[in-house]
Structure 1
Amino acid sequence: MTTPQPITIGIDFGTTNSVVALADPATGAELVRFTVDGAGGVSTFRSALSFQFHPAEDGGRPERVVEAGPWAIEAYVDDPVDTRFIQSFKTFAASAAFTETRIHDRRYTFEDLLSAFLLKLRHHAGAAMADLPPRVIVGRPVTFAGNRPDEALALSRYETAFKRLGFEDVRYAYEPVGAAFYFARTLERDATVLVADFGGGTSDFSIVRFERTPEGLKSTPLAQSGVGVAGDAFDYRIIDHLVSPELGKGSFYTSLGKTLPAPQRYYSAFARWDQLALLRASRDMRDIRALATTSLEPEKIERLIEVLDDNHGHALYRAVSSLKQDLSRDETADFRFVAGGVRIEATVTRAQFDAWIAPELAEMEAALDQAIDRSGLDPSAIDRVFLTGGTSLTPAVRALFTRRFGPDRIETGGEFESIAAGLALIGLEPDVERWTQGG
């Protein structure tokens, strides 16, 4: 048994957004807030990086400028062509195939990217993160994103980066378990809680039993499961159906007297935020330029080249995000991606979108079934269902749980803050080892 620390810190490093919380026994958990454009109170910090090289006035070595979060977006908007903008890089954490990327002739491993991100996050947090406690509770998905994810590799990469920030004791807790601790504050009686956390890269499920005792709230983990699909996979479907066909997907080119389809791998990479960040600097870029000279629809390939050369990825991200938000509210919405000479517009119904994401919804439901099976419980024994994470706002996702559990058992809220706050609260637990890995 260990005694709780006076102050604990929880960090939810997310695929799309990251959130930090501090907790102490007297006041509970409080989110770290960032001042953006002179306004305070912003608790979500975009998981994005920008890299720029500025020529030195004295003719010496160029100055390397790295930014993160909303400041990375600002740098990109100010100078999109000469800024390397990377988002959703958490997706690479468990990938043995990703060893490094080169930015302005400099090598960056995943650990380097995460370290750069965390250092800038700490800088922009100011006094709130000036004096770090020795221990940090870091959120981790139940199942990391990617094909054949290597969990041990991901955690070793996390360990390196968080220790570079200054932490001595790095512990990991499942993200839905963090959300469960956040939700448990609202319980008025004993309950078995299913937490479904839908982020950008993963969908994770945890079942926890909470019981009130004279010594306080007793928590017992029953089961976890997860799958490496979530909001970014929904974005992929939108891009694949609406954007990629206008940029040459499904078109043909000629080679040695034969008519051949444009390589699908270009569009598979283009439709994924983590891959899009690297496509512009990959060897495939040379082949894409050559494709424009032999394509039967060269104007479409030229549009693809413009989007990559002029770094329109963030404009595309905003267009896709806007469509998802609109379809969460309305049955029909307009998609509009306008950047430079590229203009793609379409009207989309919620029914169309639901059909596009049906494969991902099926994977999510299969992972949900796995958690229930592992718990040994009948679904009727689950008292409350807590939905959290930005992707939980998608109507088709909520409908899945309403169908399975009925509306009365479902709770929502804290979509962007619940995990970080819960992680910090886990750090206060006297038996923190029960809930965490590492250390």
Structure 2
Amino acid sequence: MTAPLTIGFDFGTTNSVVARAHGDHCDLVELDGPAGTDPVFRSALCFWEDAAKPGGLGVAAGPWAITEYLEFPEGSRFLQSFKSVAAAASFEHAFVFERRYRFEQIGKLFLSQMASHARGALDARGARLIVGRPVEFAGHRPDETLARQRYDAMFEALGAEIHYVYEPLGAAYSYAARLDAPATVLVADFGGGTSDFSIVHIAAPGTTPRCTPLAHAGVGIAGDRFDQRIVEHLVLPMLGKGGRYRSFDKLLDIPGGWFTDFSDWSRLALMRNRRTLADLEKLRRAALDPAAISRMIAIIEGELGYQLYDAVGTLKRALSSDSHAHFHFESENLLIEADVSRADFESWIEPDIVRIEAAVDHALTISGLEAAAIDRVFLTGGTSLTPRIRQLFEARFGEGRIAGGGELTSIAHGLALIGQQDDLAAWTV
């Protein structure tokens, strides 16, 4: 039987990657960008008003979205991390220049823009499309049925036979190609929105099947949550968090919902709408510290969310290599800077580390294995480069069993290879 053309699609919270496989041949899809080609495509969209475009809106995705946004932030709407609301029943639509976009509409726009930079490589008609999905979706009480419906509506635009596979299984299959002996492997995939774990047994080369899944677990916590912790501790106190406002003759705490939305990139991008800004202006007039609320309004009105989270990401990456780093965010009327130690950052994310470790324990429990039975731990995903994450696994499994590599591309590569199997039943969700 001739193996079909398969396309592995890693639709990530932060970045998306695609690979194509046919027989033993598997390649990452290079996508055109302003600075050249790259297989890693930012999961972002930028909208701007343009009467010459269909519907009166121009749209760009990936690195092109960032370029368009930075040229004219005040006249743009920048959406990022929209995957994080896939399973949220509370998310009905996003307002973009007073137009409503459902999740699947945003997703289709993203895919069409991505395809336009792929030189035909995303033409999936007649192919198997293997789409990665998290073990557990991000968000409070995620609705998996709703997420599946939204994914179906989004990816049907590619015109392919769609199969869903847990993202860490894709990474496991990619990692298997590097092993020349049997091993029981824990794959830990740390992305932007979720941390997912699969335990698989990898047989010797030439064995069919090469990989046998044993257990899966996940938690809706990863890199975006770590970013939120930095915003909570460094930025929000200057924007009114912990402050009070006057209501008639009473002094009340400013509701925490404002800061919850602001610290979540997927929600911050949607706060620039008439109703929200009117409510914030009303709060500013009643606040005991109106300047703090004015700073929040300035960031939202100026569409400065990207710059803010870019500064947060710069700090986080610096703390991955250094014990201390300097946080700096500056706009026309606002300056936030502070020296931050890695110890500070790790104390902020410790509640999240506890939940991540509990998910690892759950995967081991489901598999019926003790930590000593794990021969290799394969860490993948951008957040796996965070030192505190690596420390967690070194403490549990020993430094000698830890492996990494292909942090941003291993999932798509493995998904495409999985699609080459005659029977996908053991892999698909």
**Amino acid of the structure 2 residue aligned with 1:308:** I
- Tell me which residue corresponds to 1:127: 120
Contact 1:8 1:133 in 2 (8 A): no
2:103 pairs, out of 100, 110, 133, with 110
Offset of residue 297 of structure 1? 1.3
- Residue 193 and residue 342 in structure 1: after superposition, are their counterparts in 2 closer, same or farther (change >3 A)? same
Residue type at the aligned position of 1:315: Q
**Cα distance per residue 1:116-141 (max 9 Å; x no partner):** 10110111111322464432000000
Distance of 2:132 and 2:123 partners within structure 1: 21
Pairwise CA distance, 1:96: 1.1
CA distance in 2, matches of 1:149, 1:4: 39
Aligned partners of 1:68 and 1:145: how far apart in 2? 22
Task: Kindly provide the CA deviation profile for residues 312-346 of structure 1, in whole angstroms up to 9, marking residues without a partner as x.
Answer: 00001110000010000000000001122111000
Query: Given the alignment of the two structures, is residue 50 of structure 1 paired with residue 46 of structure 2, yes or no?
Result: yes
d(CA) in 2 for partners of 1:357, 1:390: 16
Count of residue correspondences:
429
Counterpart CA distance in 2 for 1:237 and 1:131 is 39
Q: Counterpart in 1 of 2:62? A: 69
Whether 1:31 and 2:24 are equivalent positions in the alignment is no
Secondary structure of 2:216 counterpart: strand
Sort the Cα spacing of 1:214 and 1:144 in 2 relative to 1 into closer, same or farther, 3 A. closer
Q: Does the residue aligned with 1:204 lie in a helix, a strand or coil?
A: strand
Give 1:18-417 correspondences, 5 Å limit. Answer: 18-27=16-25, 29-40=26-37, 42-56=38-52, 63-130=56-123, 132-167=125-160, 169-212=161-204, 214-216=206-208, 218-281=210-273, 283-417=275-409
**Mean CA deviation greater in 386-395 or 47-56:** 47-56
The answer to whether 1:421 aligns with 2:413 is yes
For residues 326 and 376 of structure 2, what CA distance do their matches in structure 1 show?
36
CA distance, structure 2, for counterparts of residue 61 and residue 376 of structure 1: 56
Kept in 1: contact 2:33–2:117 (CA 8 A): no
The CA deviation at 1:285 is 2.5
Letter in 1 for 2:231: I
Return the alpha-carbon distance in structure 2 between the equivalents of residues 214 and 78 of structure 1. Answer: 53
Of 119-128 and 98-107, deviating more is 98-107
Offset from partner CA, 1:389-431 (integer Å, 9 cap, x none): 0000000000000000000000011100010001000001121
Distance in 2, Cα, partners of 1:160 & 1:104: 23
Give deviations 1:329-368, integer Å, cap 9, x for gaps.
Answer: 0000000011221110000000000000001000000000
Q: What TM-score comes out, normalization by structure 2 length?
A: 0.97
1:37 and 1:239 map into 2 onto residues whose CA distance is 30
Partner SS for 1:200 = coil
Question: Residues 62 and 372 from structure 1, CA distance in 2 versus in 1: closer, same or farther, beyond 3 angstroms?
Answer: closer
1:295 is displaced (CA, Å) by 1.5
Gaps of at least 5 residues in structure 2 are: none
Distance 1:179 1:215 in 2: 19
Q: State the alpha-carbon separation in 2 of the partners of residues 183 and 16 from structure 1.
A: 22
Cα contact 1:4–1:429 (8 A) shared by 2 = no
Deviation (angstroms), 1:283: 3.2
SS at match of 2:298: helix
Task: Percent identity, please.
Answer: 49
Residues 88 and 143 in structure 2, CA contact (< 8 A), matched pair in contact too: yes
Any idea what the Cα deviations from partners look like across 1:151-195, whole Å, max 9, x if unmatched?
11101111111112222x110000000000010011110000000
> Is the 1:201–1:229 contact (alpha carbons within 8 Å) kept by the matching residues of 2?
yes
Equivalent-residue separation in structure 2 for 1:339 and 1:133 (angstroms): 50
Structure 1: unaligned runs, 5 residues or longer: none
Which amino acid in the other structure matches residue 272 of structure 1? D
Structure 1 residue 100: Cα displacement: 1.4
CA contact (8 A) 1:9 1:133 kept: no
- Deviation track 1:243-266 (CA, whole Å, cap 9, x = no partner) reads 011111111221102122221110
Normalising to structure 1: TM-score of the pair? 0.95
Looking at structure 1, the residues matched to 249 and 80 of structure 2 have their Cα atoms a distance apart, in angstroms, of 40
CA contact (8 A) 1:50 1:86 kept: yes
